Amino acid sequence: MKQWLPKLNFFYRKRPRSNRRQTVKFSPPVILSAGFAALIAVGTLLLKLPFATEQPITWLESLFTATSAVTVTGLVVVDTGATFSGFGLTVITLLIQAGGLGFMTFAVLAAISLGGQIGLKQQMLAKEVMQQTSLASIKQTALAVVVLALVAEAIAVIAMTIYWVADKGFTDALLESTFYAVSAFNSAGFVLSPNGLVDYQEQRFITLLVSVLFVIGGLGFSVIYNIYEQRRWYKFSVYTKAILLATLFINLAAMGILWLLELNNSATIAGMPWYDQAVNSWFHAVTPRSAGFNTLDTGAMTESSAVFTLLLMFIGGGSMSTAGGIKLGTFIILLMATYTFLRRREAVTLFDRTVPQDLVMKALAVTIVYLGLIFCGIFALMILNQLPFIDIAFEVLSASATVGLSRGITAEVTSASQLILVFLMFAGRLGPLTLGYFVATPKKRYVRYPITDIQVG
C-alpha cells in the first residue's frame, strides 16, 4: 500500500548530511500540481493580452480556456475560432502540447525513477511495464515520447494539409491541420468552429484520422512505447495486452450501442447513408473516453446515448496518457476483483498473472475518490443552476474526466459553476490520487490491531 505514486528519486535519494540542505524535497504530486498550475497561470495571462483575442474576454473566460487547454479537456466558454487571434490560437496550441506531452514525459520520468529506489520485485515490475530499469535510459525514454508524439503529429499535419489544400489554400490548410493534429493527438478536443467537427461529419478521412490520433494518444505512453519496442503480440506486457483488448472491445461495443440508440434520431444519424452512420457512431463511441471532439450535435443525441456516454467518460483511457476518467486499467481491475470474489478465488489474475493486492486497493481508492469528486461536482452544480440533471451530470463527468463533450451548458452556467468546472478539470487531469494526496497526509502506522468483523452487503 506504500508507493502509491512513484517517488522521483532525484529528490528523495538520501544524501550525506552535509549536502542535505541543497536538496529540495518535493514529492511528484506536488511538483505535478505546481507545474500544471504555473502553466495555467501563464496561459491565462497570455490569453488575456489584448492582441490574443479579436474581442476582449473576461479573466474567468481566459482562466477557463487556459485550464481547458492545459488539462487537454476541450470545454469552452467562448467560440475558440472566432474569439482568438493567430497569437491566441498559437498560445492555445502550445498549452495543449505542453499539457498533453509534458504530462506524458513527466509520467515517464516518475514511473522510471521507480527503478533505482526500491526492491528487486518492484524493479522487475517496472521493467515489465516500462521496459526500462536504469536511470541512464530515462533521458532516452523521455526523448522517445517526444519524438513519437511529434512524428505522429507531423504525419497527421501532412495528410490533412494534402486533403484540405484544394479547399482552403495551402496556408490555411497547414495552420488548421497543425491545430487539429496537436489537439487530436493530445486528446484536447479543441476545435475552430462552434459546431465542433460537425461540419466534417461526412469528411470520413478527417474524422477517422482524428479518431486514430486520439485513440493512440489515449492508450498511454507505456503501451505505445511497449508496442513500438516489441512489435509482436506475444512479447507485449500483460498491461499492454489488457489495454489493447479492452480498448478494442469497448470501442466496438459502444459503436454498436450508440448506432442503435441514434438510428431513428433525425437530428443526428437517421438521414445518413449506412457508412456515414458507421463512421459517426464509431467517432462518438471513441471520443467520450478522452478526446471530446464531436461530429454530431452532442446536445441533440438521445438522452439514452447521453447516459451511456456518462459510463464511457467515467471509464476513460489508459494511465499515463492524455485521457482522464478512472482509467482503463482501474476499470479492468475493478471488474476482475469482483469476478474473483464472486468465484471465491484467492487472488485477482489477468492473463495468467497475479495482480498484487495493493493494486486492487489502489483501484478501489481511485474509484471512491473519483465518485466522491463527481458527486460533489454534480450536487454543487445542481444547487447553483436550474438546469436538467442529465446536462449537469454530463458536464461534470466531462470536466472531471477531461473529455470536453458538452450538451451545451458550459457558457450558460453561473460563474461559480465555471470555477468549479475549472477545479474539476484540474483535479481530473492530475488524477484522483494526487488530489487525495493533498487531502490525507501520508503517515505510516506501526501498531497492529486485532482483527474485527464488519458486516458488508
Residue closer to a second copy by CB (options 178, 367) is 367
Binds 341: which of K ion, a second copy, none (CB < 5-8 Å by kind):
a second copy
Q: How far is the CB of 252 from a second copy (least distance, A)?
A: 18
Here's the x/- map for a second copy, 362-401, by CB under 8 A: it reads as xxxxx-xx-----x--xx--xx----xxx--x--------
CB 160 within 8 A of CB 177: yes
Q: How far is the CB of 227 from a second copy (least distance, A)?
A: 15
Residue closer to K ion by CB (options 251, 349) is 251
Distances (CA, A) of 324 to 252, 287, 354, 359, 362: 20, 12, 26, 19, 16
Q: How far is the CB of 315 from K ion (least distance, A)?
A: 14
* 222 scored as a contact of a second copy (CB under 8 A): yes
Q: How far is the CB of 325 from K ion (least distance, A)?
A: 11
**Residue type at 313 in one-letter notation:** M
Choice from 165, 334, 409, 411 touching a second copy (CB under 8 A): 334
Choice from 333, 373, 413, 422 touching a second copy (CB under 8 A): 333
Q: How far apart are CA 411 and CA 395, in angstroms?
A: 11
* 190 scored as a contact of a second copy (CB under 8 A): no
* 187 scored as a contact of K ion (CB under 5 A): yes
173: cell is 490548410
Cβ density class 274-307: b for 16+ within 10 Å, e for less? eebbebbbbbbbbbbbbbbbbbbbbeebbeebbe
Residue closer to a second copy by CB (options 171, 354) is 354
DSSP letter for 53, please.
B
* 428 scored as a contact of K ion (CB under 5 A): no
CB 285 within 8 A of CB 210: no
Q: How far is the CB of 394 from a second copy (least distance, A)?
A: 9
Q: How far is the CB of 446 from a second copy (least distance, A)?
A: 9
Residue closer to K ion by CB (options 187, 237) is 187
HEC sequence for 266-305: CCCCCCCCHHHHHHHHHHHHHHHHCCCCCCCCHHHCCHHH
Number of residues that bind K ion (CB under 5 A): 5
Of residues 95-124, which lie at the interface with a second copy (CB under 8 A)?
121
* 189 scored as a contact of K ion (CB under 5 A): yes
Q: How far apart are CA 358 and CA 365, in angstroms?
A: 10
Binds 6: which of a second copy, K ion, none (CB < 5-8 Å by kind):
none
Beta-carbon contacts of 434 under 8 Å, excluding residues fewer than 6 positions away, are: 5, 29, 32, 33, 427
Q: How far apart are CA 84 and CA 88, in angstroms?
A: 5
Contact footprint for K ion (CB under 5 A) = 74, 187, 189, 292, 404
